[in-house]
Chain A
Amino acid sequence: MSLTIAQKILQHHIVKGNINVGEIILARVDLAFANDVTAPISIDFLKRIGGKLYDKEKIALIPDHFTPNKDIKSAEQCKIVREFAEQNNIPHYWEVGDVGIEHVLLPEKGLIKPGMLIAGADSHTCTGGALGAFATGVGSTDIGFAFATGMLWFKVPPTIKFIYEGKRGKWVMGKDLILYTIGKIGVSGALYKAMEFTGPAIKNLPMDDRLTMCNMAIEAGGKTAIVEPNDITKQYLNVVGAKEGIFYKSDEDAEYDDIIEIDVSIIEPQIAFPHLPENAKPISEVMKKDIKIDQAFIGSCTNGRLSDLRIAAKILKGRKRDKHVRLIIIPSTPLIYRQALKEGLFDIFLDAGAVISAPTCGPCLGGHMGVLASGEVAISTTNRNFVGRMGSPEAYVYLSNPAIAAASAVLGKIGSPDEL
């Protein structure tokens, strides 16, 4: 039987059931993780069913959302997670100072490898598909179940194959490819489905851009996104010191739910308008609209990696933000923070009038470190622009890549680096 990568990885992990699309299977999970918002419910669930962990090596706890603790209630949530980690001697727990945004930290720590089946109590768990894993977001109860049993139930998804061809244009990043794709298929375009990103434009795409693309699969409703691992994957695994996983490939005659071809050369930097990620428009169209901004945010599990900060610095070097705009930059992990500092990017950011925060999910979900007031407008390198996502339900969030966000901070309105 011919199978897609998604099916092959699931098949390798099956305990009960069979790999036909649409069937519900019980499968072994190689890594189950949760954060400070979702883990307390998982821990409570685990206690209710007996409290014994299946394998503490296959668990990760990442307090990244409201840390450093934003208020007393959040501090209590983090305390639950910390005490659980200490009591159970969980090796993959990171305290503030070591912690970064989970979907950036876990690959960086070499914990996401090709061929793994990964479940995380956070919707952006699909990020891990960039490394050729089957990584999918689930709920807290699911993770509690996986903590206890090492297994989880899954519905075998159909796969949509996306073939990206052509050369990327100036200022066009992985973010633009995925916003364009979501714009094309809509926020429920891949509901319950796996998205497989293929084609010549993906084969050469740097790992940071692949991670950004897979990160936003959930914004199209996708269960996961997967990039076939290749030399770029190998290089990344070497750098982070991960022992290689299993490199799966879809069979040539595997059955796809749909095949969508995308010409990358016609894609401009994309801006997703409020209040859905599918409202993507090309920058040339947006520039004319003169959309004034109050805040620009560069960071998150989508775009807070070193290459994102480098491109922002390239644009901000020798320039200042518009005096009305708050420019907030958050490196996603302590390692990225240190690298950016070493490379001199912090001087460029500070000279430009930016504020740099410790790694946290913070502003992306309206938690802290940059919450929006009513009527305010933000350009943000994050993944969601729903009503109330970054603060007031009367605020407006536009999503973009970091080059556009940096340029917009200088311009005081949404615009392109070419306008500077």
Chain B
Amino acid sequence: MKGKVWKFKNNVDTDVIIPARYLNTSDPGELAKHCMEDINLNFAKKVKKGDIIVAEENFGCGSSREHAPISIKASGIACIVAKSFARIFYRNSFNIGLPLFECKETDKIKEGDIIEVNISTGEIKNISTGETFQALPIPPFMQELVNLGGLESYAKKLSKEI
């Protein structure tokens, strides 16, 4: 995964990722139009397929609304790298097949940098600066969800096992 960075700070909550005034629909395309609207008005207009969100601590805190990762995924974002994630956002993202990477060195990545993330090793290369960082490896269960494309395929697989 290689893409341009959209940089955010600490405690980006689900109310700013997708404000509740747009929760009267769950259509991914509609939600993507308002993604990040209350924190960065340009995001939804300018984000391109394959871009990457980089943030600091506790990304996705607050409500359980799956509309938050759905809107991010539908906006074209390939993955999110942050120092830490709120737990419901974390599970929602993997459940819908949006990979997340926990990396404590996101301070060294700036808005507009081009980075490359190796999904299996968690290695992050900042192409713009030449620096390399290591994200925590994705736990095996999450890796399985990512490989399958989300919880939907996992459910189908599980129904055959049990």
**CB contact between A37 and one of B23, B151, B156, B159 (< 8 Å): that residue:** B23
B16, B25, B62, B86 — most chain A CB neighbours (10 Å): B62
Q: Mark B18-46, 1 if CB is under 8 A from A, else 0.
A: 01110111100000000000110000000
Does residue A106 face the partner (Cβ distance < 8 Å to B)?
A: no
Does residue A114 face the partner (Cβ distance < 8 Å to B)?
A: no
> How many of chain A's residues have a CB under 8 angstroms from any CB in B?
51
Q: Mark A44-68, 1 if CB is under 8 A from B, else 0.
A: 1100111000000000000001100
Complex Cα distance, B24 from A37, in Å, reads 7
**CB contact between B91 and one of A38, A139, A149, A221 (< 8 Å): that residue:** A139
- B150 / chain A contacts, CB cutoff of 8 Å: 141
Complex Cα distance, B150 from A316, in Å, reads 52
- B95 / chain A contacts, CB cutoff of 8 Å: 139, 141-142, 145
Does residue B84 face the partner (Cβ distance < 8 Å to A)?
A: yes
- A221 / chain B contacts, CB cutoff of 8 Å: 58, 61, 86-87
Contact call A41/B20, Cβ cutoff below 8 A: no
Contact call B86/A191, Cβ cutoff below 8 A: yes
**CB contact between B11 and one of A40, A137, A148, A276 (< 8 Å): that residue:** A276
Does residue A153 face the partner (Cβ distance < 8 Å to B)?
A: yes
Complex Cα distance, B92 from A41, in Å, reads 12
Does residue A238 face the partner (Cβ distance < 8 Å to B)?
A: no
Complex Cα distance, B17 from A389, in Å, reads 11
**CB contact between B58 and one of A188, A223, A366, A389 (< 8 Å): that residue:** A188
Complex Cα distance, B61 from A187, in Å, reads 8
Contact call B26/A74, Cβ cutoff below 8 A: no
**CB contact between A142 and one of B23, B26, B61, B151 (< 8 Å): that residue:** B151
- A24 / chain B contacts, CB cutoff of 8 Å: 139, 141
- B23 / chain A contacts, CB cutoff of 8 Å: 37, 65-66, 365, 367
Q: Mark B97-131, 1 if CB is under 8 A from A, else 0.
A: 00000000000000000000000000000000000
- Tell me the smallest distance from the CB of A400 to a CB of chain B, in Å: 19
In chain A between 19 and 50, which residues have their CB closer than 8 angstroms to a CB of chain B? 24, 37-38, 40-41, 44-45, 48-50
Stretch at the interface among A282-290, A380-388, A411-419: A380-388
Does residue B2 face the partner (Cβ distance < 8 Å to A)?
A: no
Contact call B91/A386, Cβ cutoff below 8 A: no
Complex Cα distance, B144 from A153, in Å, reads 13
- A74 / chain B contacts, CB cutoff of 8 Å: 24
- A188 / chain B contacts, CB cutoff of 8 Å: 11, 57-58, 61, 84, 86
- A187 / chain B contacts, CB cutoff of 8 Å: 11, 58, 61
Contact call B62/A384, Cβ cutoff below 8 A: yes
Does residue A192 face the partner (Cβ distance < 8 Å to B)?
A: yes
- A108 / chain B contacts, CB cutoff of 8 Å: none
**CB contact between A123 and one of B38, B62, B151, B162 (< 8 Å): that residue:** B62
Closest to B89 in A: A139
Contact call B87/A139, Cβ cutoff below 8 A: no
Does residue A393 face the partner (Cβ distance < 8 Å to B)?
A: yes
Interface residue ranges, A against B (CB under 8 Å): 24, 37-38, 40-41, 44-45, 48-50, 65-66, 70-71, 73-74, 76-77, 120-123, 125, 137-142, 145, 148-149, 153, 155, 187-188, 191-192, 218, 221, 223, 276, 365-367, 384, 386-389, 393
> Apart from A188-B58, A221-B58, what 15 extra A-B contacts exist at CB < 8 Å?
A24-B139, A48-B152, A66-B23, A120-B64, A122-B64, A138-B64, A141-B96, A142-B92, A145-B95, A145-B151, A149-B158, A188-B86, A223-B87, A384-B15, A388-B16
Query: Would you mind naming 25 contact pairs between A and B with Cβ atoms under 8 Å apart?
Result: A24-B139, A37-B65, A49-B159, A70-B24, A71-B24, A74-B24, A122-B63, A123-B63, A138-B91, A140-B66, A140-B92, A142-B95, A142-B151, A145-B95, A148-B155, A153-B141, A155-B87, A191-B87, A221-B86, A365-B20, A366-B20, A366-B21, A387-B13, A388-B19, A393-B16
Task: Give me the 8 closest cross-chain CB pairs, A-B, nearest first.
Answer: A73-B24, A139-B92, A188-B58, A123-B64, A365-B20, A139-B66, A141-B95, A393-B38
